[in-house]
């Protein structure tokens, strides 16, 4: 006898019901529906560097079109290890420590699946980039937040110590640190990261660092990799990738750098998640990792100009903004120009104002936080930024 037909909703895993679709990508969909300028999602609307496009086309022509070695081509892993030594000060080899993934996003999920288990606690500073929660939930880990406190979004040492002491005699398994930080724009200082490194080492906690914006820092700020501090070399998974530095977010080239046994575990998971990152784009990424120093200088100069223009324009309209030290977002407090909450303001702006932005409450789990802020992404052509500012002025200026 047939039992009743299953309802589709009942077939969905309870785990998946614990997180929502990406609010950032939802705002991108709304931007398309309403013909709005997309200041919501963090990707450039300008061309990728010509040398990289030529390298990608060449790689396809030269037939780098089949599966790569699952954890990344030998050459790309060697290039990333060299970059990790030179730029980050992390001692790594391509053979033992580097895994190439489909973006930093897959790197994070693969790391969490490989290194955390059901009911492990993971500390996530709040506000946070939105993929950290689904990564934890998919792995079965429980999230404990610590607050980055405004106006400067720094750590509260006492709160950190409480979080590291764990619950019921059980220490947390890991902490996720994102520097330069999305959405706050903070670049954590050597002393802030030193405190975190000490707390990790004292409590046997793994650090998972998302350093995807490591090359986008302003006003002489220095990016520091936590893996280089204290005793953290063997207890840190450093995540980064090509998306933001080389303006190729669609290439899906990311990586982890970690101690050999941690790397072996990450590689195992990565293999069965995606097999490998796109082969021709791994080949092309070799050109990215060999660009001269002048590339990075002009990247910083160009983003500094865009940041300064948008900051000045937003402040002139009455927004209250924290000047980002790194990454390419401005978190703007709209209290002076809009009485409602962040969702109503973002909806109004995308439908009636022609500019899409992200309601900041989506970067928090704690109810009530972020209700008076929106996040604007500025990796856009100067004329796109000018047009976005013009449109916003008409609504709020
Ligand atoms: N990490 C942070 C903090 C981000 O802001 C983003 C994209 O916006 C990502 C990771 C995603 O990186 P990828 O394109 O390499 O998956």
Residue 79, domain CATH: 3.40.640.10
Which residue, of 271, 288, 305, is where some domain finishes?
A: 288
Which pLDDT score, from 0 to 100, does residue 150 have?
A: 75
Same domain? 200 vs 242: yes
pLDDT greater than 80 at residue 210: yes
Co-location of 260 and 300 in the same domain: no
Query: pTM to 2 decimals?
Result: 0.97
∠ CA 246-248-252 to the nearest 5 degrees? 120
Residues 96 and 141 in one domain: yes
**Is 7 within the bounds of a domain?**
no
Q: How many domains does the chain have?
A: 2
Clarify whether residues 157 and 256 are in a common domain. Answer: yes
Based on DSSP, count helices (H) and strands (E) in the chain, helices before strands: 13, 13
Domain final residue pick, 288, 320, 346 = 288
Same domain, yes or no: 132 and 116: yes
Ligand 1, from 25, 178, 212: best to mutate by most atoms within 8 Å of Cβ? 212
Q: Would residue 129 count as lying in a domain?
A: yes
Helix (H), strand (E) at residue 298: helix 293-317
Residue 6 lies in a domain: no
Look at residue 148 and tell me if it is in a domain: yes
Task: Compute, in angstroms, the gap from residue 114 CA to the centroid of ligand 1.
Answer: 19
d(CA 242, CA 282): 10
Average pLDDT over residues 169-189: 97
Question: Are 41 and 108 found together in one domain?
Answer: no
pLDDT for 397? 64
153 DSSP 8-state letter: T
* DSSP codes joined into one string, 301-329: HHHHHHHHHHHHHHHHHT-EEPPPSBSSE
Kindly report whether the peptide bond that precedes residue 103 is cis, defined as omega within 30 degrees of 0.
Answer: no
pLDDT recorded at residue 8: 84
Residue 311 structural domain: 14-48+294-396
* Strands 98-101 and 254-257, sheet pairing: antiparallel
Is pLDDT larger for residue 175 or for residue 16? Answer: 175
Output the CA 238–ligand 1 centroid distance in Å: 13
Confidence at residue 318, expressed as pLDDT on a 0 to 100 scale: 97
Residues 59 and 109 in one domain: yes
Confidence of residue 118 (pLDDT cuts 50, 70, 90): confident
| 3-state SS class at 374 | strand
Pairwise CA distance, residues 364 & 127, whole Å: 5
Whose structure tokens read 């330069």?
180
Ligand 1 centroid to 135 CA: how many Å? 13
Q: Are residues 341 and 193 part of one domain? A: no
């Amino acid at each position: 006898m047939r039992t009743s037909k299953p309802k589709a909703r009942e077939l969905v895993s309870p785990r998946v019901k614990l997180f929502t679709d990406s609010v950032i990508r939802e705002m991108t969909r709304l931007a398309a529906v309403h013909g709005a300028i997309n200041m919501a999602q963090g990707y450039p609307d300008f061309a990728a560097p010509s040398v990289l496009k030529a390298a990608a086309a060449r790689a396809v022509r030269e037939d780098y079109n089949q599966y790569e070695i699952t954890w990344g081509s030998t050459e790309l892993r060697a290039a990333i290890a060299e970059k990790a030594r030179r730029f980050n000060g992390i001692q790594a080899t391509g053979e033992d420590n580097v895994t190439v993934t489909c973006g930093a996003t897959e790197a994070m999920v693969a790391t969490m699946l490989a290194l955390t288990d059901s009911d492990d606690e993971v500390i996530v500073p709040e506000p946070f980039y939105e993929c950290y929660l689904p990564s934890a939930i998919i792995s079965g880990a429980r999230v404990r937040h610590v607050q980055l406190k405004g106006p400067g979004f720094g750590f509260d040492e006492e709160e950190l110590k409480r979080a590291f002491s764990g619950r019921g005699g059980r220490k947390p398994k890991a902490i996720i640190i994102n520097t330069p930080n999305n959405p706050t724009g903070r670049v954590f200082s050597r002393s802030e990261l030193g405190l975190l490194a000490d707390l990790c080492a004292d409590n046997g906690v793994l650090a998972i660092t998302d350093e995807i914006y490591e090359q986008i820092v302003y006003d002489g700020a220095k990016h520091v990799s936590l893996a280089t501090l204290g005793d953290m070399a063997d207890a840190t998974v450093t995540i980064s990738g090509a998306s933001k530095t080389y303006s190729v977010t669609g290439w899906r080239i990311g990586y982890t750098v970690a101690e050999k046994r941690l790397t072996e575990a990450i590689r195992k998971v990565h293999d069965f998640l995606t097999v490998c990152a796109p082969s021709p784009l791994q080949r092309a990424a070799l050109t990215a990792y060999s660009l001269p120093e002048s590339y990075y200088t002009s990247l910083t100069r160009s983003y500094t100009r865009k940041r300064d223009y948008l900051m000045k324009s937003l402040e002139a309209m009455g927004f209250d903004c924290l000047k980002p030290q790194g990454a390419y977002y401005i978190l703007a407090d709209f209290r002076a120009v809009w009485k409602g909450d962040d969702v109503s303001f973002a909806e109004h702006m995308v439908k009636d104002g022609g500019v899409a932005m992200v309601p900041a409450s989506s970067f928090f789990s704690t109810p009530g936080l972020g209700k008076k802020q929106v996040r604007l992404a500025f990796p856009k052509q100067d004329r796109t930024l000018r047009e976005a500012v013009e449109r916003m002025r008409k609504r709020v200026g």
